[in-house]
Amino acid sequence: MPNGALPDTRVLVDRARTALERCGATHLPEPVGAPGRARTPITGQDLFPVEFDTPASAEEAVSAASHAFTSTWRDTPAPERGRLVHRLGELLREHKEDLADLVTIEAGKIRSEALGEVQEMIDICDFAVGLSRQLYGRTMPSERPGHRLMETWHPLGVVGVITAFNFPVAVWSWNTCVALVCGDTVVWKPSELTSLTALGCHGLLMRAAADVGAPADVHRVVLGGAEVGGVLVDEARVALVSATGSTAMGRAVAPKVAARMGRYLLELGGNNAAVVTPSADLNLVVRGSVFAAAGTAGQRCTTLRRLIVHEDVVDQVCERVVDAYGRLKERVGDPFEGSTLVGPLVGERGHEAMRGALERARADGGQVLVGGGRRLEKEAEEAFYVEPAVVRMPSQSEVVQEETFAPILYVLSYRTLEEAVELHNGVPQGLSSAIFTQDQAEAERFLSAAGSDCGIVNVNIGTSGAEIGGAFGGEKDTGGGRESGSDSWKAYMRRATNTVNYGGELPLAQGVEFL
């Protein structure tokens, strides 16, 4: 049961090694560079050394991926490129448990969430394979007789993918599977906190490449910190940098890539809210809010951080949510345990941020209704398990407008829907949003241009748990990027507008006369 004994770190070491071997990671050449360490937030202990890359070895990875792009991959027919991703999907199905083990060990996700993240990878493989036969251009009517006007899409080049710890494999797959079928090659810099999951994914992709005869250098992984990621940001041969992380990281990356006329796709911070109207089904509100706010220990970019509730039902909603949280705090613990619902924070920084935010909220007149304490400190002093917290706030103060990457849910009240929308939009971030209502007019107003200003707008579901078929991303300080489904593939390709003259004459556009 949760709140009991945690697994021995040596057991986790053996489990991680077994998963890596089964994924094929042990057959990879060791990167050379400064040594790092793989760590697990489950016990707060190091697992074993991992060799990090240097800027020089990261440059070599870019060179190899660039050569694979120009020599082979960009000219490989898209359906043939889809065979690589199809094979990867098969291997992910075969090794779903192994990769989920690595996700839980390194990111601390509970078992169902870790398995769900790998399922998300499988789903994007299916999507990308279908996409490999649907990279459509358009034919448009020409104003000139005997001419055809059309557009074609071509591979972009090397795509640099920089990912965060909280979704250590899914976000990589969103980018990589789509980029590969688009004809790009990929260099991946994962979070230094999740090197093992990256090695596991890379091992499976290399097995897939060998099975279908694709060049091995269509994908390279480079391990390390900001200095390694900086190579992808600064390197002119990296045509697109897709970076997931904090808004501060995005503000550093964007101008550097733009200065060299490169492309960037940013998925940054979120400060997501749900509006609860008087007509809302409170059963949906409680279930949707608790998962969205406390899932992944509050460490999702789509985590619900603000609950904006009509004054007629705010007391009732608070009572029901607090009751659910009271039961939830007894299910904090070992993420491998099937009954656990909240695993550890990834590290001490998250715990300190949570403590500081709660202190500031109290100073601003907030009342902590439940949670906020630390669990299992005696069992694992260097691991950070916390009780998800609910805080009733009198206003949307400065601390509420900031994203704290921990399980804190602020509750605010409103009188009119216009006031609710103003509160909702009154933060710098713009990723995910929701409204709970049985009133169709209220739902439509929230979905309209005058409603939520986020990239994801939901009705009667929470803010987290996006499907891969829809484009994922947000506005404002969230960065404006779109990944995964819909037409997000266009970010990974370049467009050419073509005019074909088959008529034998040469009329100029707009009726221009010349010679």
Tokens of 372: 């906020």
State whether the Cα torsion 89-91-96-102 is positive or negative.
negative
> Which residues neighbour 13 within 8 Å (Cβ) at sequence distance 6 or greater?
47, 48
3-class DSSP state for residue 259? helix
Tokens of 377: 């400190």
3-class DSSP state for residue 249? helix
* Residue showing tokens 């949707």: 288
User: What is the maximum alpha-carbon separation in the chain?
Assistant: 88
| Rounded Cα distance, 301 and 320, in Å | 25
Three-state secondary structure of 72-114: CHHHCCHHHHHHHHHHHHHHHHHCHHHHHHHHHHHHCCCHHHH
Nearest CA to 270 out of 455, 114, 399, 36 is that of 455
| Rounded Cα distance, 395 and 392, in Å | 9
Considering the candidates 125, 177, 301, 318, report the single residue annotated as catalytic.
Answer: 301
DSSP 8-class letter at 66: H
DSSP 8-class letter at 297: G
Please confirm, yes or no, whether 177 is among the known catalytic residues. Answer: no
Nearest CA to 35 out of 256, 223, 241 is that of 223
Considering the candidates 106, 267, 387, 442, report the single residue annotated as catalytic.
Answer: 267
3-class DSSP state for residue 365? coil
Tokens of 63: 């060179």
Compute how many other C-beta atoms are within 10 angstroms of the C-beta atom of residue 437.
23
Tokens of 470: 């829809």
| Rounded Cα distance, 18 and 15, in Å | 5
Compute how many other C-beta atoms are within 10 angstroms of the C-beta atom of residue 504.
6
238: left (phi over 0), alpha (psi -120 to 50) or beta: beta
| Rounded Cα distance, 288 and 292, in Å | 6
Please confirm, yes or no, whether 301 is among the known catalytic residues. Answer: yes
Residues known to be catalytic: 267, 301
